[in-house]
Structure 1
């Protein structure tokens, strides 16, 4: 296989990077995952993950982890309610017994634990935040913030939407989508936001109004994740002067930006047990192209970041991992560069199609008739 006797460095310990590490280790490859988190017990933020049959779930199947997935997934997490800004329910999937089974969901923490448990004990090198790298011999010397270094024959960038490694591969810049998200995580939601916790009922809420979106997602640990979606200019974040570590400032912004929405949504700010992360949404050009390097490639958001409004991010990353592993392990390829070329060509084509679909969904969810279009879409699902 092209990577025989080569040291592989995967930078980033998200679902894509860990899935790739598992698939490569299964076949005897020498792999290290360099992850910036201090240790495996760091709290994993974000909503539940909707894994698709032919991508995320297929990767877990090939990794021999599908049974572990079904032992840890949350059957009710896929249940959805669609509300308007006044809090009126327009669709409630909790009455459809099989809806959550169509695209089973799992919290990010349990998925990460499944993948970590499948790796050799020393595969993940924690507290390794990537700073830079430079060519050395036929590979790369990586440098980390903790002043350690590591050599690798092949580097795979799985370091997310704000990848620091991507620039070593190509200079293509991301395009602003027109939407900025404020992500919130409300802890102990049953106590701190009992009305909304009861309303979400273990699943999700999609609420729409005034060309804005508000998505709530219950997690198995009792946390309620939420995402505001607003049409704002690209530099809104810097010009707003909001300190997102200050709950009062964020709450005041919400009261203004969502001023015509029902007061029920203000319960999200009723306690101090919450955190916020602003996330302007970008995507890469549909026709992005770069010449394949002999020892460096990208997967997941580092390769094809896009807004979350089609649920494709984690699935794309895990499918990238599966296809990249198949190429790197394929004895038909005579070199790593030949394997990477095959992977990147199919990855870019797939990403272009999915990015286009995601942008259409993003526009639809922030249109004046988002609820009507959502209801029409779900009529085809049920």
Structure 2
């Protein structure tokens, strides 16, 4: 067992992937997580793991077969519907053996990764205030006033990372767009007409207009619904006098926002089973990087926050896998981290540039083949020099 003291801040997919990779290579690691337990909150919708990134990370971590056992290939299907006519205009169905980007619930992926770790790897209920580093030793400051030192701290703590300030002063910026999220439960029995509209995978309505409606089928008949609001103030709800806890008021606002859209698609909002959650979209600048700081590094959204176009989780997983592999390949811990950053930072920059191109392509989403777009993205970010 290597004696280096390594801490990962954040028990999301990227942080857990890094922990798994380090453990299978003989390193001791502590994952520090602010949530009280693995079941403290619902983990979100589903993720499409791409073959050359997310799936490759699962292979490297020895978890590919477990992933295949729960992933849903049929959920690769994408249906695009015209906002005003309600007609299906683009229907992309996976081939019989197609496995380029199968879907998995976030909760299932997290559980798979957690179960692969040694008992007590994750220290739950431990929010941190910040991280600092001096002479290659990193100090974690907890919100209860305690401190702890490590040879390496990995910031896998997302968009609003408390680790990031140790290496970079850059903060996320608001994009001018927001997602308003809700859900449908037991869709096949309670909402059969919507179940037929959505299908087994993803539904996209109205991309390229002033907004978009989207639905994604999770396991167990659960569907997440997203209303994308473009060119909208950060405090749009407050300016409209809306309390997000007032489900009826939010619904009325959204129905007005999408006035003129076909009733068939507006039922995604009209028939929702849960409340609404406002999720303003933030990004880090494309090409965000930092001068290497011995004792601290970042992965996933903490390093390269992108819009929710299906890239983030894949990058986080491959970041975690690559970090562990680089550390294992070097006798000097800091040299291993430098090698990881030399791979990760150019890839993240290329992914950000590709994402900008893809966003432009998706303005005419009805004409796009989603898997071709995914392949373009992966080719660009895995070959940064091109």
Aligned to 1:218: 217
2:338 maps to what in 1? 341
The 5 A counterparts of 1:311-322 are 311-322=310-321
Aligned match of 1:356: 353
Q: Counterpart of 1:52? A: 50
Give SS of 1:322's match. Answer: helix
Normalised to the residue count of structure 2, the TM-score between the two structures is 0.87
Distance 1:8 1:234, change over 3 A: farther
The alpha-carbon deviation at position 353 of structure 1 amounts to 1.0
1:108-140 alpha-carbon deviations (Å, 9 max, x no partner)? 111111111110110011122222345588533
Query: In structure 2, do the counterparts of structure 1 residues 314 and 117 end up closer, same or farther at CA, with 3 Å as the change threshold?
Result: same
Report how many aligned residue pairs link the two structures. Answer: 372
C-alpha displacement of 1:280: 2.3
Deviation of 1:187 after TM superposition, in Å, equals 3.0
> Tell me, which stretches of 5 or more residues in structure 1 are unaligned?
none
1:46 Cα deviation (Å)? 2.7
In structure 2, distance between residues paired with 1:185 and 1:129: 29
Verify the 8 A CA contact 1:247 1:269 in the aligned structure 2. Answer: no
Separation of aligned partners in 1, 2:20 and 2:203: 34
Determine which of 365, 368, 372 is the counterpart of 2:367: 372
RMSD of the alignment, in Å?
Answer: 2.7
Find the aligned partners of 2:317 and 2:71 in 1 and give their Cα distance: 17
**Map of 1:8 onto structure 2:** 6
In the alignment, is the contact (CA less than 8 A) between 1:76 and 1:100 conserved in 2?
Answer: no
Quick check: 1:77–1:100 contact (8 Å CA) kept in 2? no
Tell me what 1:284 maps to. 284
* Aligned 1:1-382 pairs, distance under 5 A: 4-86=2-84, 87-94=86-93, 96-98=94-96, 101-134=99-132, 139-145=137-143, 149-208=147-206, 210-237=209-236, 239-270=239-270, 273-309=273-309, 311-331=310-330, 334=332, 336-365=333-362, 367=363, 369-373=364-368
- Asked whether the 8 Å contact 2:133–2:294 carries over to 1, the reply is no
Summarize deviations over 1:4-55 as a string: whole Å, max 9, x none. 4121111111110111100000111111111222212244343311111111
Summarize the Cα distance change of 1:262–1:222 in structure 2 as closer, same or farther, 3 Å threshold.
same
> CA distance change for structure 1 residues 172 and 134 in 2, over 3 Å: closer, same or farther?
closer
Tell me the SS of whatever aligns to 1:274.
coil
Q: How far, CA to CA, are the matches of 1:35 and 1:241 in structure 2? A: 35
Where structure 2 has 5 or more consecutive residues not aligned to the other structure, the ranges are: 377-386
Distance in 1 separating the partners of 2:341 and 2:325: 12
Residue 178 of structure 1: CA displacement? 3.5
Structure 2 vs 1, CA of residues 234 and 162 (structure 1 numbering), >3 Å: closer, same or farther?
Answer: farther
- What is the distance in 1 between the residues matched to 2:349 and 2:274? 36
How far apart, in 1, do the equivalents of 2:37 and 2:135 lie?
Answer: 31
Shift of 1:146: 6.1
Asked if structure 1 preserves the Cα contact closer than 8 Å seen for 2:205 and 2:265, the reply is no
| Structure 1: distance between partners of 2:213 and 2:55 | 27
Q: Is the 8 A contact 2:133 2:293 kept in 1?
A: no
